[in-house]
Amino acid sequence: MKTNRTVLLLTLTLTAALSAAPAAAAPAAAELRAKALEFLKPLPDKAPGAEKDTPELVTLGKQLYFEKRLSSNNSQACNSCHRVEKGRAGVDNEATSLGAFGKRGGRSAPTTLNASFHFAQFWDGRAPDLAAQAKGPILNPIEMAMPDEQAVIKKLSDIAAYQTGFKRAFPRETSPITYDNLARAIAAFERTLITHDRFDDFLKGDDHALTRDEKHGLKLFLETGCTTCHNGPVIGGTSFQKFGLVNPVEGLKDIGREEVSKDADDRHKFKVPSLRNIALTYPYLHDGSSPTLEDTVRTMGWVQIGKKLTEDEIKSLVAFLKTLSDKDRVAVTIK
């Protein structure tokens, strides 16, 4: 009888301990989440301005986003450099992109995923919004190389599908095929490119969305000072920052924001990139010169924070950064 009673007590004790384990782990996750929410926010379900976008406008914008006839030799579309088909992450995964006539630009093509949440567009912030950004590459002589806006409008006006598509998207206008409307439509489509990842699941209350190693990486991300620049819903895209803030970057020739502002204080400043989908949008930095996420974390730790991260710290940070990948997107191997 005594043996049975002992076994029963041990069983009850073990059962109570196992039942208490998840509850004991919850405060740690809750504390980490609360700390993260001081700097980082889940991505909203709708982009700013999307409430005004009609299905017809989005449909037209998607068609234009993939339209190679917007380039002078019918070889380049928005999607050529910002690829979203087949689970691509809004980039071409090249250091710099090839234009219509085989020349490369000087900066890496940033992702269009979640771009609607950025405070400005392009690395130097020269476009205030998505519509303004959409206008630039089409007329850029290295990129899509159309000679002027009127040439674009004439080309589209000669295509029956666009005569119909613009009329449906802008039913109140008698001559809807305009350069402004083209940009508005592309922007409407890009506002639909919102991603969903495990980190947001964690921020919204799922304690088990991240592994222990990933939570450790998040803790390190918060404690190391990364959120000074990488904050908000897209974990970046909210400010300009000098590249080489603490320690200089050797051989840096691109003057960055200064090219636009003409202010010497903006030399080597760039828009802080979003870290959403960062594991999928290699290579890194404004010129695509950093091939791996590990190399980039190591570099940024030194030049921006002044810290020589250990290999274990880099591994943990990368583990966290990989939780920011959209569940429906895939990494592309560059051959």
Tell me the average confidence (pLDDT) per consecutive run of 10 residues in the chain, 335 residues long. Answer: 45 43 59 98 97 98 98 98 96 97 96 98 98 98 98 98 98 98 98 98 97 97 97 98 97 97 98 98 97 98 98 98 94 59
What is the structure's pLDDT at 202?
98
Q: Is 130 found in the same domain as 85?
A: yes
Write phi, then psi, for 241 (nearest 5 degrees): -145, 145
CATH number for position 219: 1.10.760.10
Domain region containing 75: 50-190
Evaluate whether 121 touches 115 at the Cβ level (below 8 Å): yes
Tokens linked to 64: 């234009």
Please say which residue of 161, 190, 219 terminates a domain.
190
143 is catalytic: yes
Choice among 143, 190, 214, 313 that is catalytic: 143
Q: Which helix (H) or strand (E) holds 270?
A: strand 269-271
What is the structure's pLDDT at 158?
97
Q: Give, as one character, the DSSP assignment of residue 210.
A: S
Q: Is 178 found in the same domain as 293?
A: no
What is the structure's pLDDT at 10?
44
Please say which residue of 164, 190, 216 terminates a domain.
190
Is there a domain that residue 19 lies in?
A: no
Q: Is 183 found in the same domain as 104?
A: yes
Is there a domain that residue 333 lies in?
A: no
What is the structure's pLDDT at 273?
98
What is the structure's pLDDT at 330?
77
Q: Is 174 found in the same domain as 124?
A: yes
Rounded-to-integer distance, Cα 162 and Cα 165, Å = 5
Q: Is 245 found in the same domain as 283?
A: yes
Residue 60, Cα to own-chain centre: how many angstroms? Answer: 23
What is the structure's pLDDT at 333?
59
Q: Is 180 found in the same domain as 103?
A: yes
Rounded-to-integer distance, Cα 78 and Cα 299, Å = 30
Q: Give, as one character, the DSSP assignment of residue 319.
A: H
Q: Is 273 found in the same domain as 180?
A: no
Please say which residue of 160, 190, 220 terminates a domain.
190
Q: Total structural domains in the chain?
A: 2
Class of residue 205 by CB neighbours under 10 A (exposed 0-12, middle 13-18, buried 19+): exposed
What is the structure's pLDDT at 331?
74
Which of 103, 324, 286, 118 has its CA nearest to residue 209? 324
